Amino acid sequence: MTGTVEGCAGPGFGSVPRKEDGRFVRGRGRFVDDIALPGMLHGAVLRSPYAHARIRSVDATAAESHPKVRAVITGETLAARGMAWMPTFSHDVAAVLATDKVRYQGQEVAFVVADDRYAARDALALIDVDYEPLPPVADARRSLDEGAPVIRDDIADRTDNHVFDWETGDAGATEALFARAAHVSECDLVYPRVHPAPLETCGTVADFDRISGKLTVHTTAQAPHAHRMLYARIAGIPEHHIRIIAPDIGGGFGNKVGMYPGYLCAVVGSILTGAPVKWVEDRSENLMSTSFARDFHMHGEIAADADGHILALRVSVLADHGAFNATAQPSKFPAGFFGVFTGSYDIAAAHCRVTGVYTNKAPGGVAYACSFRVTEAVYLVERLVDVLARDTGRDPAELRMANLLTPDRFPFRSATGWEYDSGDYPRALRTALDMVGYEEVRAEQKQRRVAFERTGHGPLTGVGMSVFTEAVGAGPRRLMDIMGLGMADGAELRVHPTGPAVLRLSCMSQGQGHETTFAQIVSHELGLPVDAVEVVQGDTDNTPFGLGTYGSRSTPVSGAAASVAAGKVREQARQVAAVMLEVAADDLRWDVGTGGPEGGSFSVKGVPGVSVTLREIAMAAHGGLDLPDGVEGQLAASTVYNPPNLTFPFGAYVCVVDVDPGTGEVDVRRFVAVDDCGVRINPMIVEGQIHGGLADGIGMALMELVAFDDDGNHLSASFMDYLLPTAMECPPWELAATVTPSPHHPLGAKGVGESATVGSPPAVVNAVLDAIGVRHADMPLTPAHVWRALQGRPIRPDIAIR
């Protein structure tokens, strides 16, 4: 049984303004491209125009004779340093600069270092690459065909484009339930390739000091410490000679987890020239070459009994991984956390099989706030439940309500082995349905439908929903690692003699507001004002080791670490206070206070008026006080937090759309989002995260898409072609919270950064399909897709529209 509390309790918590916004709203943020070091040079990348071609030769002579060019780096240059290939996060290698073949359009072929960025760009045109075009694999469904071009002929004995097979669940038990099911619904669904598309593209300023041998890299890194190890392994520079500095980051969404050739080339450029080298990619480079997201071709089956109780789920997936298997996820999870596809329902058995394939497309796959592919899992199950409702003539809300896990089932072990920590799903769905006025909206929908059938004119109204369960906050490290690095986070807290504190974190904000939320955690534990806690992140020389910010893991892991470190400091303070007040430590009572500059205080139990504040204790701890054995003095603690389990935030979303059947245009009229991420440290920041994720969901459901034509040309390489939603497409969000604390997180908090991105696409798609009365059509539901779905000829999204 999960305990459920209302509101978000606790000193220090609440919707305080974000500390970082003081600089952002003044235009004083400092991003990678704002950095200008003395003598800095500029890099530019030459990219392949072909999706698949053999490289006969690369002639850089003319470029090298450009008066402003300092160095031209080719695959050959890197091969001489053992750096032409780099390891990926998924047991594969990826080309840094192509030596043998290019394997996707936009792949890196050469890197120019010049005095300014104009000259660097000019010189790219002077590099002569002789390509022998090869037939590309542009359609994932043809990648395993007999005779398909073999993309990875760099790997010995490879004769096909197969990457891996992976399965989870109990095939036999699932089969048995399907065999006795009264009803089975099937559906093919594509979760098409999309891109995280942060407004700030990826970039770096690499600065190698020939005297000290130290490499400093200012870069867009969501995981600075993991990056340091990667540079050490790839470039052969000892780790203590590498400093990664991530300045302000303008959005990451998983795009800035990976290692990119441009980063490494800038390092080599700095080593070769002895000067700092800046490289910042442009929009097209970002969209074409850095980690994409999704690209799952799914076949789902759902079995139910005659009363509409869901018995079992069965799924097979073709996963398009692009030219290199570089998905950024815990290394033992080739399909990420897709295994949570049983979602929020009480399903006795489930089985899933995933086959990964190579195609002539950019690598990636796990990005864009996907919680390691929980997005795909939630989309699958929430779409299948709607299909089941349609096929069996049931209301989708009633069908969900009848099958949701109830609070008494937690902690719940799913049919695929995931242990959900806590949840109250029926309450979340009930709240969302009440907020939207479900009966009224359904009545209105009926009227609209009748009017349309009479007049032939729209709009048609649709209602869609999803009840999603997220799985965030990796590790534990026993199960989860990135390239052998266990997913546990360090934190260090020091209270200065006069009371303010500095908290050093391994994770790195890309807009999530860490400087505020983490200061609030310390404030919560020690009673200090939020403004009296400085949060240091993104500098490997000044922060403890940890795995970084992605997969909504900052609050679940680093947040827990901050809480534990602060608790240790508080216990040190208790020991010091005991000496100051000449009582036993056990006789002291902690009072967190009201967040004033004195901080919390210890008072003597049963002796009113005898107390010392944290500020007094801090000075005493640094002073001449005679401390007993085992109390070292000063107030500082560090910790490494190894999470016992993921946290499982959840929510219920209801979307109302109007569709113009004459044009296929969709108007998202309302969106109700009830989120439960446990205790909310800063509800305003949480709501901001949800706002962004809901916009993501509208984007993916209605317009975002990376598609390729038959030649493997990337058809979405600008913001005119890769459409992000604007305020015009977003309705006023109607948010609500329920609070079901995580039983294993010290603050009861769960991660929330990706909840809305994960939960919202199926709600929008379900609403559009509900409006037009179509069983299934794939995202993105652009006007053309909607109209063609109405005609009974849906468009396949991953290939070019013909």
- Site residues for another protein per CB under 8 A: 44-45, 117-118, 120-122, 280-285, 662-665, 702-703, 705, 707, 715-716, 720-721, 723, 725-726, 728-729, 782-784, 787-788, 791, 795, 800-802
CA-closest candidate to residue 704, choices 334, 369, 327: 369
Q: Which amino acid is at 640?
A: V
95 pairs with which residues across the strands? Answer: 85
b or e along 263-300 (b: 16 or more beta carbons within 10 Å of the residue's beta carbon)?
bbbbbbbbbbeebbbbbbbeebbbbbbbbbbbbbbbeb
Q: What is the C-alpha R_g of the chain?
A: 27
Q: Which is nearer to another protein, 483 or 774 (CB)?
A: 774
State the nearest-atom distance from the C-beta of 450 to another protein, in Å.
21
Q: Name the residue nearer to another protein (CB basis): 1 or 784.
A: 784
What is the pairing mode between strands 310-320 and 349-357? parallel
DSSP sequence for 587-632: GEEEE-TTS-TT--EEEETT-TT-EEEHHHHHHHHTTT--PPTT--
SS3 assignment, position 204: strand
Between 220 and 469, CB nearer to another protein: 220
DSSP state of 497: T
Residues 6+ apart with CB under 8 A from 69: 63, 112, 113, 114, 119, 120, 123
User: At 402, is the secondary structure helix, strand, or coil?
Assistant: helix
In the complex with another protein, the residue whose CB is nearer, 492 or 696, is: 696
- Indicate the residue among 116 and 439 with the shorter CB distance to another protein: 116
In the complex with another protein, which residue's Cβ is closer, 665 or 711?
A: 665
Q: How far is the CB of 662 from another protein (least distance, A)?
A: 5
Tokens 């991660």, located at residue = 751
Q: H-helix or E-strand containing 675?
A: strand 665-676
- Whichever of 20 and 778 has its CB closer to another protein, that residue is 778
From CA 631, how far away is CA 772, in angstroms rounded?
70
- DSSP code of 559? I
Minimum CB–partner distance for residue 220 and another protein (Å): 16
| Strand 533-536 relative to strand 501-505, pairing | parallel
Least distance (Å) between residue 724 CB and another protein: 8
Q: Which amino acid is at 664?
A: G
Name the residue nearer to another protein (CB basis): 154 or 729: 729
Minimum distance, C-beta of residue 141 to another protein, in the bound complex (Å): 19
Q: How far is the CB of 773 from another protein (least distance, A)?
A: 19
Minimum CB–partner distance for residue 123 and another protein (Å): 11
Nearest Cα to Cα of residue 293 among 767, 710, 716, 786: 716
Closer CB to another protein, 442 or 788, in the complex: 788
| Of residues 451 and 502, the one with the C-beta less far from another protein | 451
Q: Are 617 and 528 in contact (CB under 8 A)?
A: no
Q: How far is the CB of 728 from another protein (least distance, A)?
A: 4
Look at the chain and count its residues: 802
In the complex, minimum distance from the CB of residue 192 to another protein, in angstroms, rounded to a whole number: 12
What secondary structure does DSSP assign to 39-60, as a single string? T-EEEEEEE-SSSSEEEEEEE-
- Closest distance between another protein and the C-beta of residue 343, in Å? 30
Say which residue the tokens 């649709």 belong to: 462
Residue 710 to residues 64, 136, 426, 707, Cα–Cα distance (Å)? 35, 8, 46, 10
Beta bridge mates, 613: 601
Q: Which is nearer to another protein, 280 or 566 (by Cβ)?
A: 280
Measured from the CB of residue 58, what is the shortest distance to another protein in angstroms?
19
What minimum distance in Å lies between the beta carbon of 72 and another protein? 15
C-beta closer to another protein: residue 498 or 791? 791
Closest approach of another protein to the CB of residue 328, in Å: 25
- B/e letters for 555-593, b = 16+ CB within 10 Å, e = fewer, are bbbbbbbbbbbbbbbbebbbbbbbbbbebebeebebebb
Give 438 or 787: the residue with its C-beta nearer to another protein: 787
Instruction: List C-alpha distances in Å: 744 to 420, 564, 749.
Output: 11, 13, 9
